[in-house]
Amino acid sequence: MTQHHNPEPTANFIYDIIAGDIAAKQVTQVITRFPPEPNGYLHIGHAKAIVLNFDMAAQFGGRCNLRFDDTNPTRENSEYLGAIEEDIHWLGFEYGDPGYASDYFEKLYQFARQLIEQGDAYVDNLSAEELRRQRGTPTAAGIESPARSRSVAENQRLFEEMRTGSHPEGSLLLRAKIDMQHPNLNMRDPVMYRILHQSHHRNGRQWFIYPMYDFAHGQSDAIEGISHSLCTLEFENHRPLYNWFLKRLKIESPPRQYEYARLNLSHTLLSKRRLQQLVENKLVSGWDDPRLPTLRGMRRRGYPPEAICAFCRSIGVTKVESQIDMAHLEYFVRERLNKTAPRVMVVINPLKVIVDNWPGEGEWLPAANNPEDPRSGKRTVKFERELYIEQEDFMMEPPPKYFRLAPGREVRLQYAYYLTCVEVECNAKGQPTVLHCRYDPASRGGTTLDKRKVRGTLHWLASSEAQPIELRCYERLFQVSDVAAAERAGSRLEELLNPHSLVARSALAEPQLARHPQEETYQFIRQGYYCYDRVASVHERGPIFNQTVPLRDSWSKKR
C-alpha cells in the first residue's frame, strides 16, 4: 500500500488502542479495511473513514483493504463500483485488488451450515411483519418462535432448499438462535439469511439466498484477516452480535471492532440515501453537483484531495457525535490552493478606464503565476490605453478606509503601473461609465523610486484582450446548519434549500484562461478560487468556472 500523503502519527484513541494491542502482542500485523456498500457515491463522511483506515494501516506498517459489502442485490449497482474506486484513488490512496463480500458467499454459507449443525441457527417461516412484532421492544421481551425447536436435520434440509430456490421469496428465513429476552434487540434471534430470487451484479443468479449485512460483515472481516475493524458508532450495538458469531464459529484471532463518531458537516447531508433523494428529485444537477458533499461534487468544484484529507485529519477521531462547520473545511481548501493555484485576473463587473497619457501601442508586462511558488514561472499581461477594472473598485465619494480608486486618487494596478483618476464620465443616473486616468511611467512593475505610498492594488484587464467566461458562484446548499434537526422540527427538505446556492454570472478574463483553460483551480486575484468545469463548458458563452471558495469567508459575514 502506498500513499501520496505521508501522515504524521495521529493522536487519537484508536491509534492508542492499536499501539496497545501491538505492545501486548495481541496483534502482529495491522490490517484495516474500508467497506463501502456499492449503493451510491462516496461523500466526505466516507473520506473520514478512508483516511482513518489507511492512516492507521500506514502508521503501523500494515495494509488497508477495500472491500465492497455487496450483500444486497436489490440496492446495488455496478456503476458505483468503479466510481468508488476512482474516488479513493483521487483522494490519494492505493490498495491491492478490491475484495467483495459476494466472493465470500460460499464461505459464509458454510459458516451458516456450521451454526445450524451446532444448533445455533434455525429456519423460521415468519413474515417480516410477524418478525418485527415478535421481536419485542427495549422494555418488553421478545416472543420465541415455535420454529426455534426445529430439529437440526430439518433445519439443514430447509436451508438447503432455500439455497436451491425451492421456496418463494420471503417464505423462509435463517435466524441465529441466541436469546429472545436479551436486552440488546440485535441479539434477539436476528436474521442471518433471506431468500431473494434476484440477480447479483457479480454472481448473476447463482444464489437464491443472501446473507444479511450483520452476518456478512464480521465474517468477511475475519476471512480477510482484518485486525482492527473500525466502524461508526451505529454499529456499537451490533458488536455483541458480531462477537457472538465469531465465537460460535470458533474463529481464531478474530477482528477487533472499535467504533468512532461519524462526521457531520453543517449546511449539508452526509447520507447516501438522502443525497440520492436530492439527485432523484432534481434538486441538484447530479451526484457530481458542485454543491454536494460527494467526492465527485467536491472534485468538480475544485477542492484539492490534499485539502480534504488534511481536513479529515484535523477533526480528530472521537466517540462523541458533533457537527463540524463547513467553514473549517473551506479553511483547508484555501490553505492548499493558496500554495498551488495559478493566479489570473478576472473582472466580474467591468468599468471602463481610459489611460489618457498612454502613448500608442500596448505593452506586455511580466506577471508571476504564483508568488507562493517560485517554480510556477511568469506569464505576460498586456497593458494598453483602454482597460477594465471592477465597478466596486471605484467610488465617487469614498467612505473612510476605502483605499481603492476615486476622483483624484492614486492606486496601483497589479503587475503594471500607478494610476490616478482625473475625470469621470457618468450616465443619466449619475453612475460612472468611463474613468479617465493618468499613469505614472516611472512606476512600471508597481513601485516608484520615490517610494510614495499607494494603499490599494487593483486587478484589471486590457480591453482588447479580455475574453468572456461564465462563473458559477455557490453558497451553502441548505439555509440551516443542522438539516436533520430542522427536518425533525417539521420542515420539508425542499424548504430548507438555499435558493441562492447557485448563481451564474458572466465575467471577463485574461485570454489564456478563456482559450486554453486547464483542468485546475485558479486564484482569480482578489476574488477567490475557481475551477474550470470541463463537463459543463460545452456552450458558446465561453468556458465555465465553478467557484471553489471565495478568498475570505463572505458567508458568515453576511449572516
The answer to whether residue 46 forms part of the interface with ligand ATP (CB under 6 A) is yes
Among 27, 30, 48, 73, binds ligand ATP (CB under 6 A): 48
The 3-state secondary structure of 392-461 reads HHECCCCCCCCCCECCCCEEEECCCCEEEEEEEEECCCCCEEEEEEEEEHHHCCCCCCCCCCCCCEECCE
Q: Is residue 228 part of the contact set for ligand ATP (CB under 6 A)?
A: no
Which residue stretch of 45-53, 295-303, 325-333, 427-435 sits at the interface with ligand ATP (rule: CB under 6 A)?
45-53
Q: How far is CA 357 from the centre of its chain?
A: 52
37 binds ligand ATP (CB under 6 A): yes
- Assess contact for 446 and 414: CB atoms under 8 A: yes
Nearest approach, Cβ of residue 263 and ligand ATP (Å): 4
Catalytic annotation, pick one of 37, 86, 161, 236: 37
Told to judge if 37 belongs to the known catalytic residues of this protein, a careful annotator would answer yes
CA nearest neighbour of 242 among 251, 277, 106:
251
Q: Is 262 a catalytic residue?
A: yes
239 binds ligand ATP (CB under 6 A): no
**Cα distance between residue 133 and residue 126, in whole Å:** 10
Question: In whole angstroms, how close is the CB of 501 to ligand ATP at the nearest point?
Answer: 21
Selected range binding ligand ATP among 59-67, 87-95, 263-271, 399-407, rule: CB under 6 A: 263-271
Q: Which stretch binds ligand ATP (CB under 6 A): 14-22, 266-274, 414-422, 501-509?
A: 266-274
* Distance in Å, CB of 234 to ligand ATP, minimum: 8
270 near ligand ATP, rule: CB under 6 A:
yes
Q: Alpha-carbon torsion 521, 393, 329, 295, what sign?
A: negative
Which residue minimizes CB distance to ligand ATP? 45
C-alpha cell at 329: 473545511
Residue among 270 and 531 whose Cβ is closer to ligand ATP? 270
- Specify the residue for cell string 451564474: 504
The footprint of ligand ATP on this chain (CB under 6 A) covers a number of residues equal to: 15
Which residue in 14, 18, 30, 36 binds ligand ATP (CB under 6 A)? 36
Alpha helices (H) along 288-429:
295-301, 305-314, 326-340
Could you tell me if 481 and 265 are in contact, meaning their C-beta atoms sit under 8 angstroms apart?
A: no
Of these residues, 272, 300, 301, 476, which one is catalytic?
272
Q: Which of 75, 113, 248, 262 is catalytic?
A: 262
Binding to ligand ATP by residue 297, rule CB under 6 A?
no
| 557 is known as an active-site residue | no
Helix 213-223, helix 105-117: angle, nearest 10:
110
Binding status of residue 232 toward ligand ATP by CB under 6 A: yes
Q: Please answer whether residues 241 and 175 qualify as being in contact, where contact means their C-beta atoms are separated by less than 8 angstroms.
A: no
| Least distance (Å) between residue 458 CB and ligand ATP | 43
Q: Which runs of consecutive H residues, i.e. helices, occur in 74-185?
A: 78-91, 105-117, 128-134, 152-163
DSSP codes joined into one string, 17-35: HHHHHHHTTS-SS-EEEE-
The site for ligand ATP (CB under 6 A) is made up of 35-37, 45-46, 48-49, 231-232, 262-263, 270-273
Would you name the residues annotated as active-site residues? Answer: 37, 262, 272
